[in-house]
Structure 1
């Protein structure tokens, strides 16, 4: 049985590794397709893109792992059935449960590893990914001056050229016009030249423009409107300008700014965050009710001191009736302003509580996601292995079709449950475990059918069952 177990494990590992990287590659291509606009034209180095894709691939493992286990188990048991190896096992007195045992142990280990990966690795990868992706989105487009276009991506300068030729010694520009706005005083410095040679420095910290046959206009200004300032013109045959390119370097944001997001937290941190939010909600609720409580008179009674320092309790109506018309208007105006103030407090408190409740829901959903990811690996195996034994087709034909169908069912149910939980239609645990609750009975059903050698896809067996049922009723 040890040799048989090793044979079964070897038959599974090959398809699993292959399908895992294929699924990861397909999901990564989908990610690139979605966010290609945020990365194009930024002049990013290859290692920056590679780093971003590496962090993104870590967050895609929860999708690739269940799919690869489902497909690999289908292919493994389909191949065993197609080559009559399952028949040989049964002829030797080894049941399907015994054949599945080595892979059950292996998939359980993979599921446990998937849980620790989701709890320890994915939060760190998400932190790195969102930090880097934020910097890429904030990055300016790559430096590229086009003919007949006013280029204003350089801080403090606007450049327009009529023509451009790319040469080894530098780009040749024709009919150059450069507005200098570095002093933030409007269009008071303008340089015009017939031609220029533009060249980037080796460290890309600045680029130089060597201008030929041009005029530099400068209008002097000192802040006084009652004074006339001269316009100076500087005619040159050759003039060189150096423009700083530090604004095009990608600045890395401090990762500490992203650490409070629920996607960057493990189970312990999510639990602590949940307790903190609940305590904050209770505190803010008490503060709100206390502020509203203190702004109203209780029991509709007032106390009033008389000349002999005795207290007289009077109702609100009795007290108001003692006021003059002007005093009544003043009291009503004060009461109306107090009511409007309380209404504003209530609206602000409602917005804040809705935000905190949304944050709390996201944290609870993320907490359950850590477990559903690993449990999904086991469920997909108990769907794929018996289906492969029933279908008895290996390769990438029928198993791929079946895998896609069940994976889409799993994905749709997961998305429906998560969205319903976020909209507070159902509880977070109900939404996150919806796909598991639906697919787990299917796994038990398929395993039962495979172990009892039932004709699952034989239509006549189902028709005969209903015929027998109707005969019994008659």
Structure 2
């Protein structure tokens, strides 16, 4: 009986995780790949590395959801074909029948814990800085003619033509993030610009010739400046790489090390770092928590159609993930509000699962 149920759960989980990865990740994947392929002309090796980095980050969401779908579908079918009735008539209790589900859910929770505290942060960090790896491989591609470059923060760059390292007709627009109108706060047009690439430091220098610079003064009036030659403009990718990292891109070990070695951190950042650790532990329990409600919900569905199990899984999973989204709004606040909200979905599933199990056993 354990092998019979366990095999179906594992097979359905693998199928569900694969399908959810394709459905939920594919659109975002192509969105992120467009700048690499069009603007950076990244190699196939870089693109393949980027795809592999997306998978661990997506698995922390698709594994719990795929496991929930599997539990609902398998137990819905067992209930619809009266196999559960036969097992219970043979003297096997509902908790004993569900034991393979709880064991698999525990193992998947351990897997999700490893992904959350180690693999997913590393993958997210790799995704964030994949641009700099593309720069290292092919820095010339950043300023290809006829392509609007949008990878630079709050800047857009367009080159009319190019001969080697000599750029003809360089347009640069500096955008203000707080400007709702979308108009650039400063624009530069240079007749020529000489590009110098420093591979060792991952730097790009531009020496502008016959440059027109348009800015706005304090009153908001336009000011036009003509410069025969301007000091080289520096794009320092290594400096961007060294900036402070977000908690979501750091492993638990790195977060704890930062909290110990940097006591001068701001209170908000300390709260965010500490709560990030609790979030990962709580979110890793998703498989086990969802299995508690998945078994009785699958039995109560009593339908063979896969659409029913999928619809129930969407409602339950969205409710579970929504509570975590609400908790993240309090991640940088003092007190235990974020901590309580992070563990609330698991306790809710536990209480709801006990109630539903009690009702299912009496039927």
Taking structure 2 as the reference length, what is the TM-score of the superposition? 0.70
The equivalent residue for 1:7 is 4
- Deviation at residue 54 of structure 1 after TM alignment: 1.5
**Per the alignment, in what secondary structure is the counterpart of residue 429 of structure 1?**
helix
Matched, 1:274 2:267: no
Match of 1:108 among 92, 101, 106: 106
Indicate the residue corresponding to 2:13 in structure 1.
16
1:72, distance to aligned residue in structure 2 (A): 0.5
Residue 141 of structure 1, CA deviation? 4.8
- Partner of 2:38, secondary structure, is coil
Superposition pairs for residues 196-345 of structure 1, below 5 Å? 257=242, 261-277=246-262, 279-280=263-264
Count of matched residue pairs? 295
CA distance in 1, matches of 2:341, 2:261: 23
Residues 69 and 58 of structure 1: CA distance in aligned 2, closer, same or farther (over 3 Å)? same
Is there any run of 5+ residues in structure 2 with no aligned partner, and where?
A: 148-157, 171-190, 196-206, 212-227, 229-235
RMSD: 3.5
* In structure 2, distance between residues paired with 1:91 and 1:142: 73
TM-aligned CA deviation for residue 150 of structure 1: 6.2
Verify the 8 A CA contact 1:39 1:136 in the aligned structure 2.
Answer: yes
Distance in 2 (alpha carbons) for counterparts of 1:444 and 1:82 = 22
How many Å separate the matches in 1 of 2:57 and 2:7? 28
Shift of 1:383: 1.2
Q: Distance in 2 between matches of 1:88 and 1:255?
A: 64
Equivalent positions of 1:66-77 (< 5 A) are 66-77=64-75
Range with greater deviation from structure 2 (128-137 or 98-107): 128-137
Whole-Å Cα distance in 1 between the matches of residues 193 and 9 of structure 2?
66
Q: Deviations over 1:387-417 (max 9, x none)?
A: 1112122442100000000111112111011
- The answer to whether 1:445 aligns with 2:318 is no
Is 1:28 matched up with 2:25?
yes
**Any conservation in 2 of the 1:127–1:255 contact (CA below 8 Å)?**
no
Question: Are 1:156 and 2:156 counterparts?
Answer: no
Q: Distance in 2 between matches of 1:371 and 1:396?
A: 31
**1: distance between equivalents of 2:193 and 2:66?**
57
| CA distance in structure 2 between the partners assigned to 1:433 and 1:36 by the alignment | 35
1:373 CA drift (Å): 2.1
- TM-score norm. by structure 1 comes to 0.55
Alpha-carbon separation, structure 1, partners of 2:20 and 2:290: 15
Deviation string for 1:81-134 (max 9, x for gaps)? 112111110111111111111221121122122212322322332332222145
Residue 183 of structure 2 aligns with which residue? none
Contact 1:145 1:151 in 2 (8 A): yes
Contact 2:276 2:331 in 1 (8 A): no
Equivalent residue number for residue 216 of structure 1: none
Quick one: distance in 1 between partners of 2:90 and 2:239? 63
Match of 2:342 among 432, 439, 443: 432
1:85 to 1:181, Cα distance in 2 relative to 1, 3 A: closer
- Structure 2 vs 1, CA of residues 186 and 137 (structure 1 numbering), >3 Å: closer, same or farther? closer
User: What is the deviation of 1:40?
Assistant: 5.3
SS at match of 1:421: coil
Structure 1: runs of 5 or more not aligned: 161-178, 189-220, 222-250, 282-355, 454-474
Conserved 8 A contact 1:77-1:394:
no
